Structure 1
Amino acid sequence: MHIDTQGNPERVAVVGGGIAGLAAAYRLKSAGYRVTVLEKEEHVGGRMHTVERDGYLMDVCATHLSDNYTHMKELIDTIGLSLEYRQSSAEVGYMREGTVHRLRLNSTWDFIRTGLLTPAAKLTILRNLGILIRDLRHSGKRARWYDLSGNVKFDTENSQQYARRVLGPEVADHIIDPFMAAQCGIGSEHVSAADLLFAMSKYLGAGLFATGRGIGFLAQSLAGQLDVRHGVQVLEVRESAARDSVELTSRRSGGPAERDLFSACVVAVPSRAASEIVPDLTDPQKEYLASVPSEPHIRAFLGLQHAPQHETATGIMLSRREHPSICLISFEHNKAPGLAPEGKGLLGIYRRLEWNRQYWEASDEEIAKQTALDIESLFPGMCREIDMTYVHRSLPSLSWHPPGTIAQLSKFSESLSPASRVQFAGDYLAVSSTNVSLASGEAAAARVIENLGGLH
């Protein structure tokens, strides 16, 4: 155990109880530090949060976990939860002209034989396959889970431009655009090609895994082993002038501001919140954090009296030609047994940014009704017997990097001192992904451990 000058275990604060903060806290506690997690909400997990209603378990933001989530799978094994998780169906659907074409994410053959693309589109892919493999290899080697700055060379165009140039217009419109919309909540023309290549290099060719307890089970399990204090708003995190401690100012709901002293702190909150509570940041650092896009996200759930028997995919992606606002319909009950009552179905609907903005102030009833109508127009008869509806709003939620901003991310990352007693974690350092968040939290914890003297 690490001891301070008074003979007590050294204390480390973690601001934020999302998966980044919880992963950092767990690694720090395992290294012998006395860790306190401060979370303003009454639940942990951030985007890895599951809500229960009438026997349905709803993953309210993040939904699918990739077999390439190596950091997450290692942590699951470390805390003894590997038996709780199972392989999920890797089958996803893409709709084109009203027909759903199902592909297994880990099957090259499915992409070769699919009717989703014309022979001419497949020939374009084959013709440019060398370029794609080269770029994916570069991204896989240079971009880390917790740092996208290695992909700066691809930040000269947006995801749609890259896809059209290398993969052709059919792939760009029917595969890449809905994929990026599901990933970021916005069209591929607004997202840097660096984000696209990162996502493809990390996810391509991998299966999926899930648990019947919902995606929030990992966060809940970590929190059960940690000192997590809910309802705490952190107002300021300031490193001492001597650079040997951190003063943290916080307030519980309705209470006065309180100050406390820690040996170090991991700030694991969204980028804009981080820019507001760490005054030691330089103006360029604050400006960058405040500039990272993060928009409102609405996710509606429909519990169905009977699970659709014909649908085996875990999700169906839709281009704007198929539907102007829906980019992903997640068939949650196909991920793992237990997410819906036996024999029933559970749909989770992802929308594009413009719709989320338009309906942000709408009532839950209005959103649920519109969602049911939209699904019924796509799949007649699917919503005849709705058993439950639930609407979840997240702000901020998914983030992305507009074209031309990866160089700014690189400068920001390079400007952060690895020797500082205040370290940062969050998916804004790469792309919106639970594994990115988790990996960034572990990386921040590793820097703190090194700064405080290593493992004991």
Structure 2
Amino acid sequence: MSAELDVAVVGAGMAGLTAATELTRAGLDVRVYESSDHVGGRTASVRVDGYTIDAGAEQLSPHGYRATWELLARLGIPESAVPLIGGPIAMWRDGRAHAGVAEPRGLLTGAGLSPLARVDLVKFQMWLAQRRGEFDTDDPDRTCLADTTVAEFARRYHPDVHDYLLQPVAGTFFGWDTERSSAATMLSLLLAVGDASSWRTYCGGMDTLARRLAAGLDVRTGQEVQQVVSTGQGARLQIGSETVTARSVLLCVPAPVAARLHPGAPEPEGEFLRACSFTPALKVSCLLDRPLAPARGVPPYVLLTSQAEDDVLSAILFDHQKHPDRAPAGAGLLTLMPNAATTSDLLGLPDAEIIARLTDAAARYLPGFTVANRRNFVHRHAHGLPEATPAALALRSRFMARRLRPIDYAGDWVMLRPASEGAVRAGALAASRVLSRLRAPLSIPTQARSRRVETA
């Protein structure tokens, strides 16, 4: 039996690292356990041969990411280290890419929508503007659309609004099936983050913030927690043959994983955990010997391929357009993403088969792709993003009002906000709950302690 910790954090994604940082600043003895060999979770990046590959999250926004920007400022990471992304978002239709998706100019260019659909898009935007105050990313369950799916909401408008806007955006950026996921959550997020022309990325990879946070913490990578059990005033963790006790444990992992680690969760915690389903995510990175783009128009950052156009791909991301450091000079880097309907079928296949399916599909959109494609990597996330179903939204308020207990939770699923900002907010909230329960002093200065990342 190891010495007792104040707090054990399970998971070194953005939620876990944020919570651990806040609790360490408050003077508590905190340790983070991560089953993989790296920090960042779904914001991880991979570096190979001069390429920086974002294996999960792709971008953030200057709008709707208040907690993230506050954390960046506190760490001394300047805005210049989070530059604008180069290139627009385009939609494939009628054999070519139409730029302007999720931007005001889309009303002029069409962005893949038919003339009649553009009229309905204006109606849609007017409806959103009139009800903007009803949509809150922290409380999407309180909006008028809490019990409505994206597909149900879209039936108010021309079919193109769903097929060439809502479905491709939901499928690419959230991995969602629009027949299952919440319109309230999606519209709250779209209103919060603003148009795509303002989106940003991190210089050096999307794991920049995670790596900076981890540098100041006691993080143990390669250590998988098998079970967490409440002991009344504290909790016990089983990690291989080792047992660790802590005054408090934070499960900063996807809801299905949290439910497995803590099967005895009391209600209403357990009910919400079971309702928080996740969609899987899958990406194939393509290292190119030169940058490629669709044959006509401005080279995009993202080319969306709706299910109406392609039964395999959801999008092609041109990472060399996102930021120059993602690929060596003169080279190119792409990310291929399958659509939501295909991802589950592909997830368990061998890498070679996944690569063949997706690269064969991509060749349709990019002249010269087969010749330029030099090397590929597959990135799997069995728990990609919280699905944010109306059923989960209906249970969230009771979960948020739960009692303070030795075992608590953090993650984007707590906020039902499938984005790194949701994870940061959930981590900060979890830290405040732990401090309230342990009655840790918030105002006593603590001497900064040197921490390091250890690998088992």
Q: TM-score, length-normalised on structure 1? A: 0.88
Do the aligned residues in 2 keep the contact of 1:304 with 1:383 (CA within 8 Å)? no
Equivalences for residues 296-375 of structure 1 within 5 A: 296-308=280-292, 312-375=299-362
- Give the corresponding residue for 2:110: 114
- Give the distance between the partners of 1:187 and 1:261, measured in 2 at CA: 39
- In structure 2, the CA distance between the partners of 1:454 and 1:175, relative to structure 1 (3 Å rule), is farther
- Give the corresponding residue for 2:145: 154
Matched, 1:137 2:133: yes
- In structure 2, the CA distance between the partners of 1:424 and 1:134, relative to structure 1 (3 Å rule), is farther
Name the aligned partner's letter for residue 218 of structure 1.
L
Question: Which of 77, 81, 86 is the equivalent residue of 1:84?
Answer: 81
Matched, 1:275 2:259: yes
Question: Which of 408, 422, 426 is the equivalent residue of 2:411?
Answer: 426
- Give the distance between the partners of 1:169 and 1:274, measured in 2 at CA: 38
- Give the distance between the partners of 1:307 and 1:285, measured in 2 at CA: 48
Do the aligned residues in 2 keep the contact of 1:270 with 1:428 (CA within 8 Å)? yes
Deviations 1:345-390 (A, max 9, x none): 1111111233222222322222222222111122232332212211
- Give the distance between the partners of 2:336 and 2:151, measured in 1 at CA: 23
- Give the distance between the partners of 1:204 and 1:45, measured in 2 at CA: 25
Question: Which of 238, 241, 245 is the equivalent residue of 1:250?
Answer: 238
| Residue 454 of structure 1: how far off its partner (Å) | 4.1
Do the aligned residues in 1 keep the contact of 2:279 with 2:385 (CA within 8 Å)? yes
Deviates more, 1:169-178 or 1:276-285: 276-285
- Give the distance between the partners of 1:333 and 1:219, measured in 2 at CA: 22
- Give the distance between the partners of 1:277 and 1:9, measured in 2 at CA: 20
| Residue 297 of structure 1: how far off its partner (Å) | 2.4
- In structure 2, the CA distance between the partners of 1:239 and 1:326, relative to structure 1 (3 Å rule), is same
Do the aligned residues in 2 keep the contact of 1:19 with 1:437 (CA within 8 Å)? yes
Do the aligned residues in 2 keep the contact of 1:136 with 1:197 (CA within 8 Å)? no
Matched, 1:185 2:175: yes
SS of the residue corresponding to residue 390 of structure 1 reads: strand
Matched, 1:203 2:193: yes
Do the aligned residues in 2 keep the contact of 1:148 with 1:198 (CA within 8 Å)? yes
Name the aligned partner's letter for residue 13 of structure 1.
A
What stretches of structure 1 of length at least 5 have no aligned partner?
1-7
Question: Which of 169, 173, 185 is the equivalent residue of 2:163?
Answer: 173
| Residue 240 of structure 1: how far off its partner (Å) | 4.3
Name the aligned partner's letter for residue 159 of structure 1.
V
- Give the corresponding residue for 1:376: 363
Question: Which of 91, 94, 104 is the equivalent residue of 2:91?
Answer: 94
What stretches of structure 2 of length at least 5 have no aligned partner?
445-456
Matched, 1:221 2:212: yes
- In structure 2, the CA distance between the partners of 1:297 and 1:128, relative to structure 1 (3 Å rule), is closer
Question: Which of 6, 20, 23 is the equivalent residue of 1:25?
Answer: 20
- In structure 2, the CA distance between the partners of 1:77 and 1:219, relative to structure 1 (3 Å rule), is same
- Give the distance between the partners of 2:268 and 2:73, measured in 1 at CA: 40
Matched, 1:285 2:285: no
- Give the corresponding residue for 2:451: none
- Give the distance between the partners of 1:444 and 1:386, measured in 2 at CA: 44
- Give the distance between the partners of 1:294 and 1:285, measured in 2 at CA: 17
Name the aligned partner's letter for residue 191 of structure 1.
S
Deviations 1:45-92 (A, max 9, x none): 110101122221111111122222221122112111224322223621
Matched, 1:443 2:429: yes
Do the aligned residues in 2 keep the contact of 1:185 with 1:398 (CA within 8 Å)? yes
Deviations 1:218-242 (A, max 9, x none): 111111110001222223434443x
Deviations 1:254-286 (A, max 9, x none): xx1413233x23221110121233355225532
- In structure 2, the CA distance between the partners of 1:161 and 1:267, relative to structure 1 (3 Å rule), is same
- In structure 2, the CA distance between the partners of 1:98 and 1:420, relative to structure 1 (3 Å rule), is same
Do the aligned residues in 1 keep the contact of 2:85 with 2:322 (CA within 8 Å)? yes
| Residue 18 of structure 1: how far off its partner (Å) | 0.7
Equivalences for residues 391-410 of structure 1 within 5 A: 391-410=378-397
- In structure 2, the CA distance between the partners of 1:382 and 1:402, relative to structure 1 (3 Å rule), is same
- Give the corresponding residue for 1:13: 8
Do the aligned residues in 1 keep the contact of 2:101 with 2:111 (CA within 8 Å)? no
Matched, 1:40 2:35: yes
Do the aligned residues in 2 keep the contact of 1:232 with 1:250 (CA within 8 Å)? no
- Give the distance between the partners of 2:333 and 2:124, measured in 1 at CA: 39
SS of the residue corresponding to residue 87 of structure 1 reads: coil
SS of the residue corresponding to residue 228 of structure 2 reads: strand
Do the aligned residues in 2 keep the contact of 1:159 with 1:195 (CA within 8 Å)? no
Deviations 1:140-187 (A, max 9, x none): 3xx41xx54334x3133210221231x432211101000011133233
| Residue 318 of structure 1: how far off its partner (Å) | 1.4
| Percent identity of equivalent pairs | 26
- Give the corresponding residue for 1:5: none
| Residue 423 of structure 1: how far off its partner (Å) | 2.6
Do the aligned residues in 2 keep the contact of 1:93 with 1:317 (CA within 8 Å)? yes
Do the aligned residues in 2 keep the contact of 1:178 with 1:187 (CA within 8 Å)? no
- In structure 2, the CA distance between the partners of 1:230 and 1:404, relative to structure 1 (3 Å rule), is closer
- Give the corresponding residue for 1:4: none
Name the aligned partner's letter for residue 98 of structure 1.
G
Name the aligned partner's letter for residue 207 of structure 2.
G
- Give the distance between the partners of 1:115 and 1:354, measured in 2 at CA: 23
SS of the residue corresponding to residue 108 of structure 1 reads: coil
- In structure 2, the CA distance between the partners of 1:454 and 1:202, relative to structure 1 (3 Å rule), is farther
Do the aligned residues in 1 keep the contact of 2:288 with 2:373 (CA within 8 Å)? yes
Question: Which of 62, 66, 82 is the equivalent residue of 1:67?
Answer: 62
Name the aligned partner's letter for residue 71 of structure 2.
L
Name the aligned partner's letter for residue 168 of structure 1.
H
- Give the distance between the partners of 1:386 and 1:173, measured in 2 at CA: 30
